[in-house]
Chains A and B, each alone.
Chain A
Amino acid sequence: MKKTAALNPGSLLLLAGLAVIYFILGKAGLEFASINPSVSAIWPPTGFAIATLLFFGVRVWPIILIGSFFVNLTTSGMLFSSLGIAVGNSLEAIIATWCIDRFARSTRVFERPMDVVTFAFVAGLATAISAAIGVGMLISTRLLDPALARQVWLTWWLGDMGGAVVFTPVLLLWYARPRVSIRPLKAAEFILLSFVLTGIFYIIIVRGFPHPYLFILPLIWSAFRFELRETATLLMTIMMITTYATTHGTGPFITHASSINEALQQLQIFMVIIGVTKLTVAAAVEDRKHTDQTLYTRERRFQALIEKNTDAVVLTDPGSVITYASPSTYTVLGYKPEEVLGRSGFSFIHSEDVEKAKKDLSDVVMNPKESIFGQYRMKHKDGRWIWIETIGRSLLFDPAVQAIVINFRDITERKELERAKDEFLMTTAHQLRSPLTAIRWNLESIIDPKIKLPPAIKEKLMRIFESNRLMVKSVNELLDIAHIIQGKLPNHPEKTDVVAVTSTRISENADFARRQKIHIRLNSKLSSVNAVVDPKHLHGAIENILSNAIKYNTPGGSVVVDILRHPSAVEISVTDTGIGIPVGEQNKLFTKFYRTTTGKLVDAQGAGLGLFIVKSYVEDWGGIVTLKSPVADNHGTTISITIPLKKEG
């Protein structure tokens, strides 16, 4: 990852430090200059410049310009040529870095063989340009005899390229992974490798053995047995020692060369070639190690996910024959995986559920992109029936799987709790109804107009009667909810006149509205619209919306009911001038037991069941309930029920 820190005093200091390092490396490199004071066959600053720009971003190129400028100014004393060479050196690093960023995964360039090859190519190209600019500068400022141009360019190019190939990897790799973990065996191996390398140095440099390719041996060893950075370091060590030897007149490169410069050129060519080769091999080894590690980790992770999961997984063929079962099959069904292999999945399913299971399996096969859920009773090995939830998905066309994958889990407990909860709700509701009936009928028998009672007592009895009515309504709603949850809502659709039902509800609520000082009216001129719905549910739904519209209104307000006949639907809308519903709460309005914050302020008795039931009814008819609030000026709510009109028949 590239660091793109802001330019604070700390980072300025860092940049200055980097420029100084560049300067020192440059000066050290020029120690080897022989053909021209400004041109060296060994030029580590190129490697340093590319590594620096890769780390800190191309935008820090001025440090290369400054560093290089001072290296040359202090060498030749010529302002213009120093600047020119500095431009060349900066350009070289910028081009190389840009290309590596763009084509070779930036700082991770040495991790894949192809990237290493790209790096070598880019380094070769960029340094050729830099060398050309530099040589041009020297000639134009008369610091170089044009006759020597080709020779100097070659020296420059090879020096820079050697610097890039040998030094960039060392800096990059150590910067990326500075930590050394010492394991005894590895350390011993490294010491042995060092001995072998020392031996080769001795044979080649001291004893004059004329075959420098012997260096390939320890490099191969390192590439296969150690990390990339060790191999790169080894390469740098070989380069530094052989360079030192060559400049001191010994070693295999000096023997056949006519000058030190020529020997250093040969050394550079040699280093570049074995450098690129070794780095490529090391990257291939690293890449492979990395892939193996990734695969291993991934496989372990998936294995753990499947084997330690409480959910079980089986693979089956399209005919439900089990071809794989995960170990947790034992946890769920009591069978060891090998006990179910080759058996049909259906053989564990309750005979009443097998039809459903067969249908679900064929759905899975027919819809390869979908996960199909199912719930069946299955026989546990110990003989009891348990509820299983399955999620099936076809991977028949996935060449690596070629099976149907079925996840399954035990949901017996959940089923049991659901059943217990619903039963509790039903029983409670029924138990409440009996005393409510007794209260209701007793009251009805005494508030008979024929029976004379003192008005004060009659008034109180009426209040008890009203409370009883409210409670009956609440219990009925609770029961409806329980039925809706169980999917057992009694539903008897028949041809029902929507207009007539709405009118009845309005006139039945007229008294309530008058007491609340609300004006209620029907806006529609339709005489009748027939829909096929359960009339009781339609009465209930409209009653619910109307009584809410009256209850949560403001005194002196109005409730306007409208019925609209659409081409294939009828819409009943109820608009009030009430307290409105906060926008953030509108989508929760249709859930069970939800009451709006504004609603709680007005009436403490609402149970919050109403709209949930309305919605369940309406959706049962294939219709929708919509809500608009505020209607205007932050007040009022419109609730609309849209019921599809079925064609005759």
Chain B
Amino acid sequence: MKKILLVEDDVTLHDLYKEALQPHDIELTAVTTGKEGVSLAITNPPDMAILDIMLPGGINGFDVAREIRLHPKTAGIPILILTNLDSERESALAVKAEYLVKTNTPLEAVVQKIREMLKIT
């Protein structure tokens, strides 16, 4: 069982992710703010993080990614930036994260990407 941390303010998407990932033996913990994301990543280090960029509360997805990279226990985990901004590809590279634009990607392709990043065959 792999653990994924999802930071996504659009709660309607939370269940979709959970349903889609369950068959692949992945457990998903979803939070809506960057602050929650950072504290959860530290207290309960996941195997992977999926981050939105535009988040409420002043801490954005990239801030969360940088915190994850700074923390020894999570520094090496795969990060997927899953957002609707398509202008931030370079910033994602800077935190060694993969990048997908939500609207332009079928849910199935997102799941596929996650499996690749977690090396689940």
Residues of A within 8 A of B (CB): 430, 433-434, 436-438, 440-442, 444-445, 472, 475-476, 479, 483, 488, 490, 492
Contact = CB atoms under 8 A, between A and B. Distances in A.
A475 B16 contact: no
A434 B12 CA distance: 10
A441 B110 CA distance: 10
Most A C-beta atoms less than 10 A away, residue of B19, B85, B103: B103
B12 A476 contact: no
Contacts of B87: 483, 488, 490
B54 A444 contact: no
B10 interface: yes
Contacts of A492: 89
Given A433-B102, A472-B104, A441 B13 contact: yes
Contacts, number: 45
Interface string B5-46: 000001011001001100000000000000000000000000
A430 B10 CA distance: 13
B82 to A, nearest CB: 9
A444 B104 contact: no
A437 B89 contact: no
Contacts of B16: 438, 441-442, 445
Given A445-B19, A445-B20, A490-B87, 17 more contacts: A430-B85, A433-B102, A434-B10, A436-B103, A437-B13, A437-B84, A437-B102, A440-B103, A440-B107, A445-B16, A472-B103, A472-B104, A475-B103, A476-B104, A479-B86, A490-B89, A492-B89
9 contacts: A437-B10, A437-B13, A440-B103, A440-B107, A441-B13, A441-B107, A444-B107, A444-B108, A472-B104
A438 B102 CA distance: 9
Contacts of A434: 10, 84, 102
A379 B32 CA distance: 42
Contacts of A490: 86-87, 89
B106 interface: yes
A634 B28 CA distance: 60
A437 to B, nearest CB: 4
A438 B89 contact: no
Interface residues of B, number: 18
Contacts of B12: 438
Nearest to B101: A433
A600 B101 CA distance: 32
Contacts of B20: 445
A440 B12 CA distance: 12
A243 to B, nearest CB: 97
A441 B13 CA distance: 8
Interface in B78-107: 84-87, 89, 102-104, 106-107
Given A430-B54, A445-B16, A445-B20, A437 B86 contact: no
A454 B56 CA distance: 41
B104 A430 contact: no
A287 to B, nearest CB: 69
Interface string B56-90: 00000000000000000000000000001111010
Interface of B: 10, 12-13, 16, 19-20, 54, 84-87, 89, 102-104, 106-108
B92 to A, nearest CB: 12
B10 A438 contact: yes
Nearest to A468: B103
B114 to A, nearest CB: 14
Q: Shortest 9 CB-CB distances between A and B: which pairs? A: A433-B84, A441-B107, A437-B102, A433-B103, A438-B12, A444-B107, A437-B103, A472-B103, A441-B16
A312 to B, nearest CB: 37
A479 B83 CA distance: 14
A492 B20 CA distance: 31
Nearest to A476: B104
A445 B107 contact: yes
Most A C-beta atoms less than 10 A away, residue of B10, B12, B84: B84
B69 to A, nearest CB: 23
Contacts of A430: 54, 84-85
A472 B104 CA distance: 7
B107 A438 contact: no
Contacts of A438: 10, 12-13, 16
Nearest to B53: A430
Nearest to A430: B84
A235 B20 CA distance: 112
Contacts of A437: 10, 13, 84, 102-103
A440 B16 CA distance: 11
A434 B52 CA distance: 11
A438 to B, nearest CB: 5
Nearest to A434: B10
A231 B85 CA distance: 85
Nearest to A486: B87
Nearest to A441: B107
A445 B12 CA distance: 13
B58 to A, nearest CB: 17
A434 B104 CA distance: 11
Contacts of B86: 479, 490
B85 to A, nearest CB: 6
Nearest to B110: A441
Contacts of B85: 430
B103 A444 contact: no
Contacts of A433: 84, 102-103
A436 B105 CA distance: 11
Nearest to A442: B16
Most A C-beta atoms less than 10 A away, residue of B19, B54, B102: B102
A476 B101 CA distance: 11
A441 B109 CA distance: 11
Most B C-beta atoms less than 10 A away, residue of A433, A434, A440, A475: A434
A637 B71 CA distance: 60
B54 to A, nearest CB: 7
A475 B85 CA distance: 12
Nearest to B12: A438
Contacts of B103: 433, 436-437, 440, 472, 475-476
Contacts of B19: 445
A150 to B, nearest CB: 103
B101 to A, nearest CB: 8
Nearest to A433: B84
A321 to B, nearest CB: 41
A5 B89 CA distance: 77
A438 B85 CA distance: 15
A437 B86 CA distance: 14
B119 to A, nearest CB: 24
A445 B108 CA distance: 9
Contacts of B102: 433-434, 437
